[in-house]
Amino acid sequence: MTRSTAIIGFFLLALRASGGPYAPAAGQAGSTAIAHDDPGLIAWGSSVGQVVRGPFDISDPESPLASFGNPNPAVLGPADGFNPSTGEPLTDPNRVVSLGDGGALTVLFDQPIFNGPSWDFAVFENAFNNTFLELAFVEVFDGGTWARFPTNSLTQTAIQIDQASGINNGIDPTEIDGFAGKYRAGFGTPFDLSALAGTPGFNLDHIVAVRVIDVVGSLDPTYARKDSAGRTINDPWPTPFATGGFDLDAIGAFHVVPEPQAALTLLAGILGLALRRPRL
């Protein structure tokens, strides 16, 4: 970074010091952060679906793929990607999985998540502070269709957020909404399925899988990812190491269909398939 871009960055930051319209960091008034031990979290991811690792650096055709973490067991069960006494993230391959640029990971739930009052599930990343955040899109699957939660990124796009910059290396959580990774390790970002109401034919009460997809934070239009309003998303980039990209710790649910009902739903599905007559 040149001196002049650093100075411009400083003024941009100063201009934005008042922050954006969305919920602030964990522990601040109005935050939506979900503590890892929130008693409302009654179920956690039960198995791993598709895993697609992204490269260390999407702009480098020779780039290896991110490789850190063993999806099973790292992303299953309760959030554990941090030291509960200090809040520090734990770099342990059995606790978190790194996705790399644009990588994706699907977590399956034995008992489908449904759209209950307020938040329905929360995604846990392992950020080491409130502003060095790595973001992911979140999609849910109702057994037939995928739907993506709407996103908003108001982060400045004049200067690339990167690992090295001392002046402009963060995301203000009040400027982002609808992404996983909004909160530091030990705190989940909550999602309310009501945000997807109106998606044609989509069943908000039968979510069997949740997929997180790393946001490639590059400002280069060749690689840049966009929010729901078409704005480029600024996010730490490049992150050229085995642990690059979004790091998934866990996904916990607030509302899941109780076991017997889940079994009945499954049975009904099997019967439905068995009774379905071939179309002539």
Residues of this chain that interact with Ca ion (CB under 5 A) are: 80-81, 95, 115, 120, 192-194, 214, 217, 245, 249-250
Q: Which is nearer to Ca ion, 120 or 172 (CB)?
A: 120
Nearest to 80 by CA among 44, 53, 106, 52: 44
* CA distances to 117, 138, 202, 270 from 205, in Å: 12, 17, 9, 18
Q: Across-strand partners of 104?
A: 52, 213
Smaller CB distance to Ca ion: residue 150 or 269? 150
CA angle 243, 240, 68 (to 5 degrees): 20
Q: Which residues, listed in sequence order, are joined to residue 138 by a DSSP beta bridge?
A: 212
52, 71 in Cβ contact below 8 A? no
**Residue 112: what are its φ and ψ, rounded to 5°?**
-60, 145
- Nearest CB to Ca ion, comparing residues 9 and 181: 181
120/125 with CB nearer Ca ion:
120
Give me the least distance between CB of 275 and Ca ion, in Å please: 32
Pick from 92, 94, 89: nearest CA to 133: 89
Q: Are 189 and 250 in contact (CB under 8 A)?
A: no
C-beta closer to Ca ion: residue 24 or 181? 181
Judged by beta carbon, residue 154 or residue 171, the one nearer Ca ion is: 171
To Ca ion, the closest distance from the beta carbon of 250 in angstroms equals 5
Q: How far is the CB of 79 from Ca ion (least distance, A)?
A: 6
* Cβ at position 263, least distance to Ca ion in Å: 23
Q: What would the two tokens of residue 3 be?
A: 């001196």
Query: What sign has the CA pseudo-torsion 105, 64, 132, 1?
Result: negative
Please report how close the Cβ of residue 61 comes to Ca ion at its closest, in angstroms.
18
- Work out the number of other CB atoms within 10 angstroms of the CB of residue 242: 15
Minimum CB–partner distance for residue 75 and Ca ion (Å): 6
Which amino acid makes up residue 91? Answer: T
